[in-house]
Amino acid sequence: MVRAPHRPLRTRTLAARTAVALALVGATLTMAPAAQATKPAAPPRAEGPCDIYAAGGTPCVAAHSSTRALYASYDGPLYQVRRTSDNAVKDIGVVAPVALPFADAGGYADADAQDGFCANTLCLITVIYDQSGNGNHLYQAPPGTFRGPDVGGYNTLSIADTAPITIGGHKAYGVYIIPGMGYRNNDASHLAKEDEPEGIYTVFDGTHYDSGCCYNYGNTSTNSRAVGTGTMETVYFGTATAWGRGTGPGPWIMSDMEAGLFSGYNARQNDATPTIDSWRFVTGVVNGGGGNQWDLRGGDAQEGPLTTYYSGIRPGSLTNSNYFPMHRRGAIQLGNGGDNGNGSAGTFYEGVMTTGYPTDATIDAVQANVVAAKYDVQRLSLSRATTFTPGSAQEVTQTFTNTTGSTAVGVKLSLSAPAGWTAVVKGTDDTSVTFEDPVAPGASVSATFTVTSATTSAGYLTGRAQWTNPTRGGRQSTVTSQAVRSALPVRINEVRFRTSSNATDQFVELYNASADEVDLSNWTLTNTPSGSAAVTLATIPAGTKLASGDYYLLGLSGSGLAAPTAAGATTVNVRSTTGLAVGQQIEVGTGSTRETRTVVDIGSAATAATTLFVPVTHGSITIPAGSTNIPVTSAAGFTVGQQIGIDTGAGYEQTTVTSVGKAATQTTLSAPAAAGATNLKVAANANLTVGDTLTVDAGEYKETVTVAAIGTTGANGTGVDLTAPLRFAHRSAVDLAGPGTGVSFWPPTARAHRSGVSVQALGAGVTLDQPLANDHPTGAPVVGPQITTAGYQGSPAPDQWFGGSLSVSAGSLALRDATDSVVVDAIVYGSQQSSSSGNGTITSPELAILEADQAGGGCIAVVAGAAANPGRSNARWPDGSDTDSLCRDFVTTTVPTPGAANTR
């Protein structure tokens, strides 16, 4: 029930507050002698799900939650957040039990600590801690068969405040997954392996899902690849139908057992598994192993028992051995598939994995514990505001839902805005509204505020609710916030990524949708290709002004600088040498720094960047400042005496190759190895060298070995001899990795670098007839009129060239004003969401959320593919149309119109 506000006279409010204050003073004086009595003890915490599992003889071996402690005794951190403004991190723990002023057993997440640390900035969830004591924490998922959109192919991280809820009447946050996000621990310990028995349960949002692969929580492969049927066991939630389904349209609770989502015995539809469409919070349960058996259960996490959807033998086991016996690998995943398929969406609150097959009584008791935790909806919310223009106004509705469990009295709602903005109750000059009638548990009240922006700026709307609990007394409050911006209406209006004959025939068109001329001086375009770091694509020269209704066209030059070049240089490292010839004149740079030189020699272009090796099974590598060697995923293209570039942006540095060794190895064992053995049968050895240190297996069986001799590959090969006997026995197909001998260089690195960052061989470059007079950044255009088969071609000529190419498959472009603090406009683009794989992943989630509602499978511009010249483009229709909905504002046109009105 939503109630209208009541605004009493200020004098009456003042009198009432005075009376309450005097009463509280009197109460304090009256109770003063009692304060000398024995201080009451804090109440004990109730048992958690892992206490119940332990009592049932099936203890938790991994326990994760962003909302509460899963043991009565756990008082460690639940998760870690990182502030993007300064990269500072903070562990978010649980609230401790207290006796005064009111008894509170604690045990729920300290959301206030997160709110304080992340106030007016963006925070990401970087770690979800394991409460079991086994150290099975969840980290940013590394690349697998499918790569993620973050640097180095990692999955992106959840934005920390996107899933607010309440639990036990207290604010907490879930882990909100959109396509491209995900967490993993491929080096977990003590999880079920092969066909050992295990139990899994998780609590998630029943209204947040999609059809992409695969929103999972559970047991998975240790190398982020699909390694065969029966190698996984998870709880899945969503509407993917490529492998199996339940009844109705979905979503369904199923189990991902690798190469199959199952809801029963059959590989396709199982009628006993229903569509879950009425539960806000859902419990999903899968148990299996220890024989040809598995169970699938689900229930409302707010009330009632679980329902068994299936209990029986493994899928297809009467006719094949695909899923019995199982061959589970013992890693942990959240929000992705075994092969890192990351096209999924969902919201995680808690989940555990056990050793042993839990009894029905244990599972029922865990569900009762979940219900008793009292999951409930967000207490305070704001309706979504779209982009403001300077001086414009929008209505924003703030809603308070009483999830406290008690009546809320004197509810007051207020809204603050960035400096210079105003926020008042609609139709008044008041900055807050107080509701006279009490708000019953479960009821809601709302107020609409008129928000008026100032000049171009960005910041946060912060809603606040205050109320009194009549039982406990005292004033309570909660806050919520939303990023907002006020920007001039200059749009990224059309983008072409390629044509059928030229993958670099790219342009970006800006359009002034305002009624006035706009000064674009020193505005920037930032380019973030999926899997790479953000780089400046172009800086618009000072003095550039765009008339109302006019276009500003930027085209990709035939070549561009692959590395920054200092004044005085006579050799430039370039992206491409296509079309260049000795004796040609070329232009380097743009705007006032543009200069013309003659080519006197053409060497090699820079190669496509590789990465600092990501050992996907065993975590990440960081090479410290002062290093002279770097382990690489590929050693191709590096040449002694030539330059290499390491990292991007502020972390970028350049050095000279002194020797080229071998790339890293990520492979598997081709046969089992016994404890005490001194030989390993391996699937690949091309990059191994005598003396290499290798890491074998994962978790509790992980060990390092040193190579003594290298033979042939395969189960029947001579294998790799070791300098010392193995400490553990190892199964066939477990992972083996080594960093290789890498690429050496001088001078040493000035800063540390982490797995996944770019490492690029810069080539011999192009030699010029005379030194350059200016400094030029990476990505500066190199323009030659003779280049006719690379870069933007045709008419009209661009107003400005850029030298770094756009990803043709997925990425983002952001237009920022001269202050660099306001995102004027952005496009986030990628493939179409589908029922499998990693389709629809979202680069730059912080931009995507600003530019569109990212519920369900997300909302991005589906990249226009290649077509016969002039190709296809992504265009706003009509020009300048912008509703802050990427999937609707951009259409695909087969008639690109650079510098002119868009067509459909």
SS3 per residue for 816-854 = ECCCCCCEEEEEEEECCCCCCCCCCCCCCHHHHHHHCCC
Inform me whether the pLDDT recorded for 798 exceeds 70.
yes
Instruction: Label residue 655 by pLDDT band (50, 70, 90).
Output: very high
**Rounded to an integer, what distance in angstroms lies between the CA atom of residue 762 and that of residue 478?**
53
| Catalytic residue (choose from 51, 104, 210, 339) | 339
pLDDT above 90: residue 20 = no
- Whether omega before 60 lies within 30 degrees of 0, making that bond cis, reads no
Res. 296: pLDDT tops 80: yes
Task: Give the chain's radius of gyration (CA, Å).
Answer: 30
Q: Where are the domains of the chain?
A: 49-374, 388-486, 490-557+791-893, 610-662+742-761, 665-738
Query: pLDDT above 70 covers what percent of the chain?
Result: 96
pLDDT of residue 37: 61
> Which positions ≥6 away from 743 have C-beta within 8 Å?
629, 630, 632, 635, 638, 644, 657, 659, 660, 661, 759
Q: Is the pLDDT of residue 824 over 90?
A: yes
d(CA 153, CA 142): 7
Distance between CA atoms of 277 and 270, rounded to whole angstroms?
A: 17
Contacts 24+ apart (CB under 8 A), 294-298: 294/233, 294/255, 296/253, 296/254, 296/255, 296/262, 296/263, 296/264, 297/253, 297/363, 298/253
Of 666, 616, 835, 735, nearest in space to 231 by CA:
735
Count CB-CB contacts under 10 A for residue 795: 7
Mean pLDDT computed over every residue of the chain: 94
Spatial separation of the C-alpha atoms in residues 328 and 314, rounded to whole Å: 14
pLDDT in tens, 231-251: 999 999 999 998 899 999 999
Taking the CA of residue 619 as centre, how many other CA atoms within 13 Å lie in the half-sphere pointing to its CB? 11
SS (H, E, C) 535-603: EEEEECCCCCEECCCCEEEEEECCEEECCCECCCCCEECECCCCCCCCCCEEEECCHHHCEEEEEEEEC
Q: Please, what's the largest Cα pairwise distance for the chain?
A: 97
Q: Do domains 49-374 and 490-557+791-893 have the same CATH topology?
A: no
Element (H, E) at 494: strand 490-496
339 is catalytic: yes
Following DSSP, what letter does each residue of 78-104 receive, concatenated? SEEEEETTT--EEEE-BPPPB-SSS-B
Residue 489, pLDDT > 90, answer yes
Instruction: Let me know: does 796 contact 553? Beta carbons within 8 Å.
Output: yes
CA–CA gap between residue 297 and residue 291 (Å, rounded): 19
* Strand 823-830 versus strand 861-862 pairing type: parallel
Let me know: does 676 contact 307? Beta carbons within 8 Å. no
Q: Which ranges of 680-813 does DSSP label H, i.e. alpha helix?
A: none
Res 760 pLDDT > 90? yes
Beta-ladder partners of 477: 466
At the topology level, CATH places domain 388-486 in Immunoglobulin-like (2.60.40)
Q: What band does 634 get if pLDDT is binned at 50, 70 and 90?
A: very high
Q: Give 516's pLDDT tier (boundaries 50, 70, 90).
A: very high
Counting every residue written for the chain, the total comes to 904
Q: What percent of the chain lies above the pLDDT cut of 90?
A: 90
Asked if residue 647 lies in contact with residue 694, where contact means CB atoms within 8 angstroms, the answer is no
pLDDT of 667-694, one tens digit each?
999 999 999 999 999 999 999 999 999 9
E strands, 747-830, are 753-754, 758-761, 766-768, 781-783, 800-802, 811-816, 823-830
> Would the pLDDT of 871 be above 60?
yes
Query: What φ, ψ does residue 369 adopt, rounded to 5°?
Result: -65, -40
Residue 709 to residues 193, 685, 712, 728, Cα–Cα distance (Å): 31, 11, 10, 20
885: left (phi > 0), else alpha (psi -120 to 50), else beta? beta
Does CATH number 1.10.357.10 belong to domain 490-557+791-893? no
Are residues 659 and 715 in contact, defined by beta-carbon separation less than 8 angstroms?
A: no
User: Are 265 and 313 within 8 A, CB to CB?
Assistant: yes
Q: Which runs of consecutive H residues, i.e. helices, occur in 241-392?
A: 360-372
Q: pLDDT (tens digit, 9 = 90+) per residue, 373-408?
A: 999 999 999 999 999 999 999 999 999 999 999 999
Query: Is the model's pTM score more than 0.85?
Result: yes
Side-chain half-sphere CA neighbours of 553 within 13 A: 19
Res 865: pLDDT: 75
CA-angle at 317, arms to 316 and 320, nearest 5°: 80
Taking residue 627's Cβ as centre, other Cβ atoms within 10 Å add up to: 19
pLDDT bucket at 211, cuts 50 / 70 / 90: very high
pLDDT above 80: residue 868: no
pLDDT reported for residue 471: 82
Q: Which of 303, 255, 246, 261 is nearest to 278 (CA)?
A: 303
Q: What is the pLDDT of residue 15?
A: 34
Confidence class for position 452, pLDDT limits 50, 70, 90: very high
Q: Output the CATH code of domain 49-374.
A: 2.60.120.200
> Is 233 labeled as catalytic in the residue annotation?
no
Catalytic entry in 258, 494, 692, 879:
258
- pLDDT number for residue 23: 35
Q: Looking at the predicted structure, is the pLDDT value of residue 501 above 80?
A: yes
